[in-house]
């Protein structure tokens, strides 16, 4: 939502008074029923093989998956589940709750809030806030390896405390009607056997949590930076696939190193219920254009790059006119048309001109003029 707008509650969602001009715009392009905005898209169930609706999701990423980023991604896919950045319970309880939780109910659904914390009471309170604001899911972060959050018992360190995690998720589930999910690694430090992972999931599942999003790398909490932890520990997809075999009643979503739809489909074919894509979706956002067709059997949203460009230009103009600085929008769009002729000039023009607070929306349209699109497919065939 817009930083300076006053909000009103409606249907358990938060709407900005000055968002009304582009509410109609998004209904036109997305046809997301407003009457469903505040309804959970799944229900927690212990029934075996209950269908999981989110085959494809975009991972929570600090400093990246802001509300503006999610609105941009929603222009590319109507169906994928989108996640917020991680928000700590302390920030919500003691900070500016409205600033951390506001989002565009007209544009972002389905959207999940990721929480960082360990205290059952605090997490339950924040889950209630998420429900009040109209989120579709609440996710607990048990995978972040940063030493800054370890000291607060947040992130991957929680894998060493399975019962604590189970108790926290149970408190959250008891408090709200939303699906409560968890995102974690396949192990931490020397606790990296499959038996450890299996026992962690088994203990946590006793809380009633049925959706486990598993980053298929272990986290090394001492000696590696968060960036290194995204690349150095080797991927082990088979461990995650084995989890689904051992826990067929749970929804197992796999994350880590998924860079194309071919790999995503292969992993789904091996039995997992969903795939979560992170950096690739952010750095090469056109990847999201085919998600609805390939994973949800829906029509492609745009026939040509020109049709997409028209929608993006209209969105940029509406957002800037409502008070959002261009830089908060355009910084998430630098990877647009990556690999196509003119993409470097596109990125350079935006990077050099978008930062002034009064930067006009025409800057984005001028940048698009540098692109000589060869279509939505074959993006890797072109080398600038």
Please indicate whether residue 126 is annotated as part of the active site: no
Closest CA to 42 of 132, 126, 100, 109: 109
> 265 labelled as ligand-binding?
no
Query: Binding site annotation covers 183?
Result: yes
* 332 known member of a binding site: no
- Asked whether residue 354 is marked as a ligand-binding residue, the answer is no
What is the three-class DSSP state of 244?
Answer: helix
State the burial class of residue 96 (Cβ atoms within 10 Å of its Cβ: 0-12, 13-18, 19+): exposed
Q: Tell me if 283 is assigned to a ligand binding site.
A: no
**CA 290/CA 297 separation, integer angstroms:** 10
Cα→Cα distances 233→142, 145, 223, 249, 277, Å: 17, 12, 12, 29, 17
Q: What are phi and psi of 188, to 5 degrees?
A: -135, 135
Q: Is 61 annotated as a binding residue?
A: yes
Categorise residue 114: left if φ over 0, alpha if ψ from -120 to 50, beta otherwise.
beta
Query: How deeply is 222 buried, as exposed, middle or buried, from its count of CB atoms within 10 A (0-12, 13-18, 19+)?
Result: exposed
Q: Is 339 annotated as a binding residue?
A: no
Going from the C-alpha of 203 to that of each of 41, 161, 209, the distances in angstroms are 25, 10, 10
Is 60 one of the annotated binding-site residues? yes
CA distance 89 to 117: 6
Instruction: List Cβ neighbours of 366 (8 Å cut-off, separation of 6 or more).
Output: 349
List 69, 126, 144, 209, catalytic entry: 144
> Is position 378 annotated in a ligand binding site?
no
* Nearest alpha carbon to residue 309 among 290, 283, 333: 333
* Residues that constitute the known binding site for FMN: 60-62, 114, 183, 215, 255-257, 278-279
| Active-site residue set | 144
* Residues that constitute the known binding site: 60-62, 114, 183, 215, 255-257, 278-279
């Amino acid at each position: 939502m817009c930083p300076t707008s006053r909000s009103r509650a409606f249907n358990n969602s938060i709407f900005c008074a000055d968002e009304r001009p582009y509410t109609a715009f998004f209904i036109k392009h997305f046809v997301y029923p407003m009457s469903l905005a505040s309804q959970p898209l799944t229900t927690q169930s212990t029934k075996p093989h209950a269908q999981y609706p989110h085959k494809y999701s975009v991972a929570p990423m600090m400093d990246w998956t802001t509300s503006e980023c999610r609105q941009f991604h929603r222009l590319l896919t109507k169906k994928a589940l989108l996640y917020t950045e991680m928000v700590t319970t302390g920030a919500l309880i003691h900070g500016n709750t409205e600033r951390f939780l506001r989002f565009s109910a007209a544009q972002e659904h389905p959207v999940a809030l990721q929480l960082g914390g360990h205290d059952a009471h605090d997490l339950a309170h924040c889950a209630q806030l998420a429900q009040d604001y109209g989120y579709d899911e609440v996710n607990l972060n048990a995978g972040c390896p940063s030493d800054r959050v370890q000291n607060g018992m947040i992130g991957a360190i929680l894998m060493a405390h399975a019962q604590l995690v189970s108790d926290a998720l149970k408190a959250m589930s008891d408090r709200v009607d939303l699906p409560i999910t968890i995102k974690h690694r396949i192990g931490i430090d020397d606790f990296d056997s499959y038996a450890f992972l299996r026992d962690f999931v088994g203990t946590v599942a006793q809380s009633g949590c049925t959706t486990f999003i598993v980053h298929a790398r272990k986290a090394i909490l001492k000696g590696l930076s968060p960036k290194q932890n995204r690349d150095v520990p080797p991927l082990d997809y088979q461990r995650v696939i084995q989890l689904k075999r051992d826990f067929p009643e749970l929804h197992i979503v796999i994350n880590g190193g998924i860079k194309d739809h071919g790999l995503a489909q292969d992993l789904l074919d091996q039995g997992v219920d969903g795939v979560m894509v992170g950096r690739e979706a952010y750095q090469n956002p056109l990847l999201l254009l085919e998600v609805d067709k390939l994973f949800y059997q829906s029509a492609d949203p745009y026939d040509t790059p020109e049709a997409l460009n028209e929608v993006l230009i209209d969105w940029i103009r509406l957002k800037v006119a409502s008070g959002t600085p261009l830089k908060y929008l355009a910084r998430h769009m630098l990877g647009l048309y990556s690999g196509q002729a003119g993409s470097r000039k596109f990125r350079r023009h935006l990077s050099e001109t978008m930062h002034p607070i009064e930067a006009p929306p025409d800057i984005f349209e001028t940048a698009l003029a540098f692109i000589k699109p060869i279509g939505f497919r074959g993006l890797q065939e072109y080398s600038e």
